Structure formats: C-alpha cells, structure tokens
C-alpha cells in the first residue's frame, strides 16, 4: 500500500479517540501569522524578551556547573519539593492556602489539564465549559471523547443562572457532569473576569449539584488594577482542582505549571504523570526554583503588568477610534485578550483569509466553541506586538471589517 498518499493511509488503525484530535484554528493560523509583514493579533505568546535574558542564561549555566549531577538527573514524578513550597507561596497571592504535598508539577498547565481529564473523563462524559472557552482545553476534552456542554458568560464572567439551568437540564436527562472547567480570571479568549459575588454563587451551585470545579488560572497575577482576586480555590479546597502556570509570569518555554488537588486526587495525578513522562524536566524545574529564590520575581511581574497594560490600552484606544459602528468588544482588566463581536451577518471565519491578505491575523471565534458557534466573534491578543504594531493591526482589521459590512 502507498503509505505516503495525501489521505492518511493509517486511518483505519487509529484508536477511536484519535478522531477528536484535529488541528486547532490557532495552530493553522500561526504559519501565516508569523510572516513579518503580518501584524499578528492571533497568538497568545507572552513577551519573553522583557525578561533579563542574560541573567537567566547565567543562572542556568551556574546551576548546571554547580549542581549538574542533580540538575541533569531524573527526579520525582510529583515535582521538586522546594519548588512545590515556592508554588504555594505564589498561590498565597491569590488567597490560596495549600500544602506543598498537594501540588504536582506539570509540563505547563496544559499537561495538568490533560492529566485531570485522563483521570476523570470516560468517553461520552459531560464536561461543562464557558462559551467561549480556552481552545487548548477543548482539544484535550475532545481527545478524551468528552461531550462539552457550553455555559454562557458575560462581562462578569460565567453566568450563575445559566449554569444552574444547564445543570438542571442535564440532571433531568440523567447525564453525569464530571466537572466544570473555568478560567475565572482574565479569561482566554473573552478577557472577562468572574466577579467576587459570582465566585461564591458558582461554587454554591456546584456544591448543590455535586460537580467538581477545574479552575485554570494562568493569568491571575497579571491584573492591571489593584490586588489579585481571590481564586475559586481560596473559597473551597475540596471541590476545586486548581491549575497554575509560570508560562505567563516567567517563561512559557520552561514549561512549568502545576495542579493543586485534594489529597487523593493528587495521588492519582502523580501516577498519571509518572506514566506520561516519568518525571518533569529537572533542568526546567530547578531553573524556576532558582529564579524564584534569587531573582526579584515580584518586581518582574509588576513590570509585565505595566507592559501589558500599555498594550491593552493601545488596543482599546485603537478599537475605539477605528472600528466601524456595530462592533463591540470586551475591556479586559488583565491578561492578554480582547473578544470582539462583529455586526450580524458577518462571519469572522470566512473573513480571516481576507484579513491575512491585508496583513493582519486574528483567531476566529469558532475555535473557542466545540459546537460550531462563534462566527460573529474573534479573539484579539495584545500581549506580543508592541503598541505601535497593535495600532497598525487594528487599523488594518478595521478596514477589513468595514469592507465586509459594505459588501
């Protein structure tokens, strides 16, 4: 048989779960968005060039020279014990009191998502997720053949009444909900934040229907005004499994994230991590440990906040001045993303190639729903391009939208 044909010659051999593994719209866009003439408002890449790169380079070099026999060795599947203590200190900033023994270090929050789904979800189980929701989580849920049921959000985050209604309907239908997946703070992709009163309500509703909560919080420390909010996990340590990450606060390339889970869940996660990767990369873990121990990381995060706030402002100002009437957008108070809604009748997916032709990239809203919704929406990221490029990108985008309206 010709194994190099354009259609996949292995198609009859894959496990059923491989059918849910399809490329995300974001990945497909990255190739074109990377061209230098294109202003990419598509990718959610943190601006790592703002880090003291020389200093980090020296730090890692010293780490290997001083302690290479440990740094370059296998390590425990749960993660470095000192790093887990430091992670607990970081989580305290959002009101979480945790025992380092309940933390598992993972290959980014993404692996934590994978492990949690692996230990809880059988094919056909229901997982609730915001509408819209993080594309990487939807990919994981699809890979484990979960059925995603979306619950709408608004400017105040997930809507409690809609959650209750959905849970009631699923209960009537005899469906078992494995967990509610939520990004409560500076949501990806919508840029909205769950208000404090709603945090309590959502947890009450989940308690009433006995549903676990998977709180994914990579952006919580990147707020532009005031103190960080209390995480959902700060309200409830038994119902909430919390996912954190250093991708946005230090560097995404180190791939260090974590899960904080009730004790017995933590034990399962460690076993699942062991069979997935044996142990996390020790060099990365120890680099983060050293960075937290020796570098002014709190000040660095403050600098990131100032930088991202400036970019957020550049995007909101440009949208305000340039976007045609009928478009609306969210006004994030932290994180990386603005969620834009175009007038009725426009289709952001169909429009994307025209935007690329005009040298601007965004992610069409459909990538953030598992049910085909989202055609009137797009995600715009302000994290990576510098402010003048953001303005230029929005100017080009506004031209494309205006043209579409006129057609």
- Provide the minimum distance between the beta carbon of 248 and ligand PMP in the complex, in angstroms, as a whole number: 8
For ligand PMP, the binding residue among 188, 249, 330, 333 (CB under 6 A) is 188
Closer to ligand PMP by CB, 120 or 134: give it.
134
Q: What is the Cα 243 distance to its own chain's centre?
A: 10
Position among 79, 90, 98, 108 found at the interface with ligand PMP (CB under 6 A): 108
Beta 337-341 vs 328-329: how paired, if at all?
antiparallel
138 near ligand PMP, judged by CB under 6 A: no
Which one of the spans 104-112, 224-232, 267-275, 296-304 is the region binding ligand PMP (CB under 6 A)? 104-112
Close Cβ partners of 320 (under 8 Å, ≥ 6 residues apart): none
CB 252 within 8 A of CB 108: yes
CB of 88 or CB of 250, closer to ligand PMP: 250
How many residues does this entry show for the chain? 407
Name the β-bridge partners of 106.
Answer: 257
Confirm or reject binding of residue 245 to ligand PMP (CB under 6 A): yes
Stretch that binds ligand PMP, among 59-67, 102-110, 269-277, 384-392 (CB under 6 A): 102-110
Residues 6+ apart with CB under 8 A from 99: 88
Q: Select 235 or 384, whichever has its Cβ closest to ligand PMP.
A: 384
Cα–Cα distance between 381 and 339 in angstroms, integer? 9
Rule CB under 6 A: is residue 110 a binding residue for ligand PMP? Answer: yes
User: Contacting ligand PMP (CB under 6 A), which of 220, 257, 332, 374?
Assistant: 257
Structure tokens, 2: 């010709």
Q: Is 379 exposed, middle or buried (0-12, 13-18, 19+ CB in 10 A)?
A: buried
Give yes or no for residue 382 binding ligand PMP (CB under 6 A). Answer: no
What is the Cα–Cα distance from 28 to 182, expressed in whole angstroms? 25
Q: Which two tokens stand for residue 154?
A: 């608004």
Q: What are phi and psi of 246, to 5 degrees?
A: -95, 5
Q: Is 218 in the site for ligand PMP (CB under 6 A)?
A: yes
Closer Cβ to ligand PMP, 113 or 394, answer by number: 113
Q: Taking the complex as a whole, how short is the minimal distance between the CB of residue 109 and ligand PMP, in angstroms?
A: 4
- Which residues bind to ligand PMP, rule: CB under 6 A? 44, 108-110, 134, 136, 183, 188, 216, 218, 245, 247, 252, 257
């Amino acid at each position: 048989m010709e194994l190099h044909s354009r259609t996949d010659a292995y198609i009859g051999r894959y496990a059923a779960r491989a059918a849910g593994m399809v490329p995300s719209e974001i990945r497909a866009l990255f190739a074109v968005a990377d061209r230098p003439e294109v202003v990419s408002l598509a990718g959610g890449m943190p601006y790592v060039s703002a880090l003291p790169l020389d200093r980090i380079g020296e730090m890692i070099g010293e780490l290997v020279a001083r302690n290479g026999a440990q740094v370059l060795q296998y390590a425990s599947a749960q993660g470095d014990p000192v790093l887990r203590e430091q992670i607990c200190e970081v989580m305290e900033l959002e009101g979480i009191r945790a025992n380092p023994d309940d933390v598992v270090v993972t290959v980014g929050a993404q692996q934590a998502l994978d492990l949690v789904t692996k230990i809880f979800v059988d094919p056909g189980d229901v997982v609730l997720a915001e509408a819209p929701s993080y594309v990487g989580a939807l990919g994981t849920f699809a890979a484990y053949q979960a059925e995603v049921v979306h619950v709408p959000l608004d400017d105040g985050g997930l809507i409690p009444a809609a959650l209750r209604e959905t849970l009631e309907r699923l209960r009537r239908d005899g469906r078992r909900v494995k967990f509610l997946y939520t990004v409560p703070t500076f949501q990806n992709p919508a840029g909205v934040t769950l208000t404090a009163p709603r945090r309590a309500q959502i947890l009450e509703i989940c308690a009433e229907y006995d549903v676990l909560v998977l709180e994914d919080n990579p952006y919580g420390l990147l707020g532009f005004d005031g103190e960080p909010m209390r995480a959902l996990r700060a309200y409830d340590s038994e119902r909430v499994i919390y996912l954190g990450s250093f991708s946005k606060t230090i560097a995404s390339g180190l791939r260090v994230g974590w899960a904080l889970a009730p004790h017995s869940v933590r034990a399962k996660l460690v076993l699942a991590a062991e069979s997935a990767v044996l142990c996390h990369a020790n060099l990365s873990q120890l680099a983060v440990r050293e960075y937290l121990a020796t570098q002014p990381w709190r000040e660095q995060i403050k600098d990131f906040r100032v930088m991202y706030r400036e970019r957020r402002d550049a995007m909101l100002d440009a949208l305000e001045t340039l976007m045609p009437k009928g478009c609306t957008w969210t006004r994030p108070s932290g994180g990386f993303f603005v969620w834009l809604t175009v007038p009725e009748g426009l289709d952001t997916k169909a429009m994307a190639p025209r935007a690329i032709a005009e040298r601007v990239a965004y992610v069409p809203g459909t990538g953030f729903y598992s049910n085909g919704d989202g055609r009137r929406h797009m995600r715009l990221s302000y994290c990576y391009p510098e402010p003048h490029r953001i303005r230029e990108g929005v100017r080009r985008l506004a031209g494309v939208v205006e043209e579409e309206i006129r057609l």
